[in-house]
Amino acid sequence: MNAAVAIKVLGIEVKYKSLNVLDDLSFEVAEGEVTSIIGPNGSGKTTLLKTVDGILKPYRGSVYVDMKEVCRIPKKELAKLVGYVPQLVNLQQGIKVIDFVLTGRRPYVDLLPTKRDVDVALSKLRMVRADHLVGRDLNELSSGELQRVMIARALTSEPKVLLLDEPTSNLDLRFQVEVLGIVRELSKIGMTTLMALHDLTHAYRYSNKIIMINNGKIFAVGRPEEVLTEENIERVYGVKARVIQDVKAVITLDY
Ligand SMILES: Nc1ncnc2c1ncn2[C@@H]1O[C@H](COP(=O)(O)OP(=O)(O)O)[C@@H](O)[C@H]1O
Ligand SMILES: [Mg+2]
């Protein structure tokens, strides 16, 4: 039996003013699936994530999350449905980790967070192995710690889908693997994840499905071994690469 569809993107066109960035994009993400969006810089990955999160509105076409059309869901309800972690930004203000994570709980909080809100925030911090950071200031965290805290904040709204924009981009190898391991664990408990990734080896190893985009169009979509072919990589990135299927790795040959 096929899993339920968590995200459905149907023929979307997204523009910034007159610049057409996404062009007739369609795909589905099944519940519990990890889907990676790959493609060169400027190909439209961030724009796509922002459109699924409702920050950008498609000029044509529709996005559905949990069978509901995103642009028709009230903001507060949408925040309960979709957790979005933008690309790592520098947060300089002296805000405590717990208070920051609790801001993810906003759609449920009337005036002040209740014990239940705090318990949820703490359990999400535990889930990403960051509960020891609860009393620290955000600006005292390493990039790896901050990325985990950002994910905990997104999870605190108890979303159906998690959107991650290059969650490993500023991290050293160990933290990259750790963050992707968390994504995999979340998937095992039913979380649907759509993330932009640069590292093709990571995309190969951690995704159920890959969407390869180029110039705002889908170039290929399917299982990692179907999408990550040497030919596709050369055509989209202009780089010769070798795909090593038995260890699920992509290496470049231009050096
Ligand atoms: N706020 C914006 N205003 C105008 N153009 C933008 C804006 N954000 C992104 N773009 C353009 O849209 C295209 C896709 O960008 P983006 O979605 O950020 O790509 P990616 O995340 O794949 O690097 C690029 O050509 C970029 O210059
Ligand atoms: Mg981007």
The total of other beta-carbon atoms located within 10 Å of residue 242's CB is: 11
Residue 1 has pLDDT above 60, yes or no: no
Q: Give the number of the ligand closest to the Cα of residue 55.
A: 1
**Ligand 1 mutation target, pool 13, 14, 16, most atoms within 8 A of CB:** 16
How high does pLDDT run on average in the chain?
95
How do residues 217-228 score in pLDDT, each as one tens digit? Answer: 999 999 999 999
By alpha-carbon position, which residue is closest to atom 24 of ligand 1?
42
Q: Given the CA of residue 213, which atom of ligand 1 is nearest to it? A: 22
Closest CA to 255 of 240, 245, 236, 243: 240
Nearest-angstrom CA–CA distance, 181 and 187 = 10
How do residues 182-222 score in pLDDT, each as one tens digit? Answer: 999 999 999 999 999 999 999 999 999 999 999 999 999 99
How do residues 129-148 score in pLDDT, each as one tens digit? Answer: 999 999 999 999 998 999 99
**Superfamily for 5-252?**
P-loop containing nucleotide triphosphate hydrolases (3.40.50.300)
Cβ(157) – ligand 1 distance below 6 Å:
no
Domain boundaries, the chain: 5-252
Confidence category of residue 166, pLDDT binned at 50, 70, 90: very high
Identify whether the C-beta of residue 27 lies closer than 8 Å to the C-beta of residue 210.
Answer: no
Q: Give the number of the ligand closest to the Cα of residue 37.
A: 1
pLDDT of residue 53: 97
Q: Mean per-residue pLDDT for 19-43?
A: 97
| 241 phi and psi angles, rounded to 5 deg | -140, 160
Cβ(45) – ligand 1 distance below 6 Å:
yes
